[in-house]
Amino acid sequence: MQVLAIVITYNRVELLKKCLESLKSGLFVPDILVVDNASKDSTEDFIKNNHKDIFYLKLEKNLGPAGGAEAGQNFALQKDYEAVWMLDDDVIVSEGALLTLLEYYEELKSKNGRIFLSSVAYTDLEFSKPMYNFLKYNPDTGLTSKIKDTLFREEYFEYDIAPMNGLFIPKEVLQDVGTFNGKLWGWYDDTEFVLRCRSKGYRGFSITKSKIFHPVEFRKHVKIFGRTFNILSGRPFRMYLGTRNNVYVQKKFLKPLNFYFVFLPVFFFKRLISILLFYDNRGVFLKNFLNGVVDGIKGSLEVQNV
């Protein structure tokens, strides 16, 4: 199977080196495309001098993870690859991660028809602590819940929402559903894509033996009623993008009454309380949150000064 690994990067050449090294050390080595979001460091020289066998696409400006994904997936379609494997530049893949996806793909496709797959991201290089970032989605309320932890001990499990990192997308899905929406720039762009896939009848499965490492940045842990939650500890603009895109996506997929009278009040209250109780620089985060809600409802997807 002809697979293109799409690695999206921006000003992180040292992390990119480790990512590419892990890809080339795998039991199945795919073709590789590095999508460079207009890096100003030595990324271009590094690729051209050390990886002449890798496709390199440098964008004119930083289009974010979503814009990079869209550009990379369009490249894959033009080159007629049978599937793409989506990765950030700070990911390190385990030796058998891609081969495992390929082994399960034919089996699950024969059983379930229209599918796409995911690797499981871990927060440590020993691959002992899964991120647990696959979600169940309520199509009536737009609210999500985590997949049960016990499912990570199964061979594979089905999900409703998955992160971009490790997403294995067959060509037929991109041709039918379309690519990532680059206008979202980043955060919840993967949610929008996966929900779009599911609305067309495709099912997503996580293959637990396909393991990748992805560090967690700009997060801190807080405990509420005995449960641990991750919240942003930096990059207020990410609060804006995450809020705007989440609101935009839910408005797109939910019925109007459900969006305005169920999802939006619950989402607004929960995030407002978390900012007021747990965030540093509350004023800055609150401003970004409120602006994100307004622009999400309006469908204003312009991103400036990034």
Residue in this structure with the two tokens 């004023």, named with its chain if needed: 283
Is residue 200 located within the same domain as residue 240?
no
Residue 303 lies in a domain: no
Residue 243 lies in a domain: yes
Is residue 251 located within the same domain as residue 198?
no
Is residue 114 located within the same domain as residue 166?
yes
Residue 304 lies in a domain: no
**Encoded tokens for 71:** 């550009």
Domain-terminating residue out of 213, 241, 274: 213
10-residue mean pLDDT profile of the chain (306 residues): values are 97 97 97 98 96 97 97 98 98 98 97 97 94 94 94 97 97 98 96 98 98 77 51 77 97 98 97 89 94 97 74
Whether the CB-CB separation of 228 and 146 falls below 8 Å is answered with no
Whether the CB-CB separation of 19 and 7 falls below 8 Å is answered with yes
Is residue 288 located within the same domain as residue 174?
no
Residue 69 lies in a domain: yes
pLDDT at residue 303, rounded to an integer:
80
- Measuring CA to CA, which residue among 30, 33, 31 is closest to residue 16? 33
Q: Count of domains in the chain?
A: 2
Tens-digit pLDDT profile for residues 196-214: 999 999 999 999 999 999 9
Domain extent for 252:
219-298
Whether the CB-CB separation of 121 and 163 falls below 8 Å is answered with yes
pLDDT at residue 55, rounded to an integer:
98
Separation of alpha carbons 46 and 17, rounded Å: 9
Domain-terminating residue out of 165, 193, 213: 213
Task: Give the amino acid at 199.
Answer: S
Task: Give the amino acid at 155.
Answer: E
**Encoded tokens for 245:** 């895109």
Residue 305 lies in a domain: no
CATH code at position 104: 3.90.550.10
Is residue 227 located within the same domain as residue 172?
no
Residue 179 lies in a domain: yes
Is residue 32 located within the same domain as residue 121?
yes
pLDDT at residue 206, rounded to an integer:
98
Residue 262 lies in a domain: yes
Is residue 111 located within the same domain as residue 191?
yes
pLDDT at residue 225, rounded to an integer:
47
Task: Find the angle CA(87)-CA(92)-CA(98) to the nearest 5 degrees.
Answer: 65
Residue 44 lies in a domain: yes
Q: What is the DSSP string of 143-208?
A: -EEEPPGGGGGSSEEEESB--STTEEEEHHHHHHH----GGG-SSSHHHHHHHHHHHTT-EEEEEE
pLDDT at residue 148, rounded to an integer:
93
Is residue 154 located within the same domain as residue 118?
yes
Is residue 128 located within the same domain as residue 253?
no
Domain-terminating residue out of 213, 232, 256: 213
pLDDT at residue 86, rounded to an integer:
98
pLDDT at residue 218, rounded to an integer:
47
Separation of alpha carbons 183 and 148, rounded Å: 32
